[in-house]
């Protein structure tokens, strides 16, 4: 096996962390009968409701087909409603969806924060946040540049 650069090792470690964090979130959210993807969709809907299916898919960076199946399940469980306005469907949380998210959201935030709070001090968290912000902003610029080429 070839020697990997430090940059590659950092990227691989980040990918593994995110995968593990997502699995921990799915395990944690099972108590609310939610997956991480459903939780993120409900949180996004709450923040931008009423929202179109296209805008929701774009905000979550998932395909239209994937979001459609998820929304059908959330609607059948009474967590969201879709209102037709001519050719556009607007999605909002129902009272049941709002209540579920009000219970799940703080619990999920606490679970995620514990991954950092248990091993990093405040200075390390501040430094990691700054580094991740810098990497994220660079990736956005890079994506915009690539889409213009």
Whether residue 97 contacts residue 78, with contact meaning beta carbons closer than 8 Å, is answered with yes
Instruction: Kindly state the average pLDDT of the residues 72-76.
Output: 95
Whether residue 96 contacts residue 78, with contact meaning beta carbons closer than 8 Å, is answered with yes
Whether residue 98 contacts residue 46, with contact meaning beta carbons closer than 8 Å, is answered with yes
Furthest-apart CA atoms within the chain: distance in Å = 58
pLDDT score, position 115: 95
pLDDT of 61 above 80: no
CB proximity list for 81: less than 8 A, separation 6 or greater:
75, 91, 92, 93, 94
pLDDT tens track for 11-60: 999 999 999 999 999 999 999 999 999 999 999 999 999 999 889 988 88
* Full-model pTM: 0.85
Q: Which residues pair with 83 in a beta bridge?
A: 90
Residue 62: pLDDT band by 50, 70, 90 thresholds?
Answer: confident
Distinct helix (H) and strand (E) counts, the chain? 6, 3
Q: Which residues pair with 84 in a beta bridge?
A: 89
pLDDT of 64 above 80: no
pLDDT score, position 1: 55
């Amino acid at each position: 096996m070839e020697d990997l650069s430090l940059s590659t090792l950092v990227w691989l470690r980040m990918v593994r962390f995110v995968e593990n964090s997502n699995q921990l979130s799915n395990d944690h959210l099972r108590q609310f009968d939610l997956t991480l993807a459903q939780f993120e969709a409900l949180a996004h809907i709450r923040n931008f409701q009423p929202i179109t299916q296209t805008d929701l898919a774009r905000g979550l960076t998932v395909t239209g087909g994937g979001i459609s199946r998820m929304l059908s399940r959330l609607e059948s469980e009474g967590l969201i409603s879709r209102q037709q306005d001519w050719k556009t469907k607007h999605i909002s949380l129902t009272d049941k969806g709002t209540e579920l998210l009000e219970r799940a959201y703080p619990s999920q935030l606490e679970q995620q924060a514990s991954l950092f709070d248990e091993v990093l001090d405040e200075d390390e968290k501040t430094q990691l946040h700054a580094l991740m912000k810098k990497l994220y902003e660079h990736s956005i610029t890079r994506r915009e540049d690539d889409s213009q080429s």
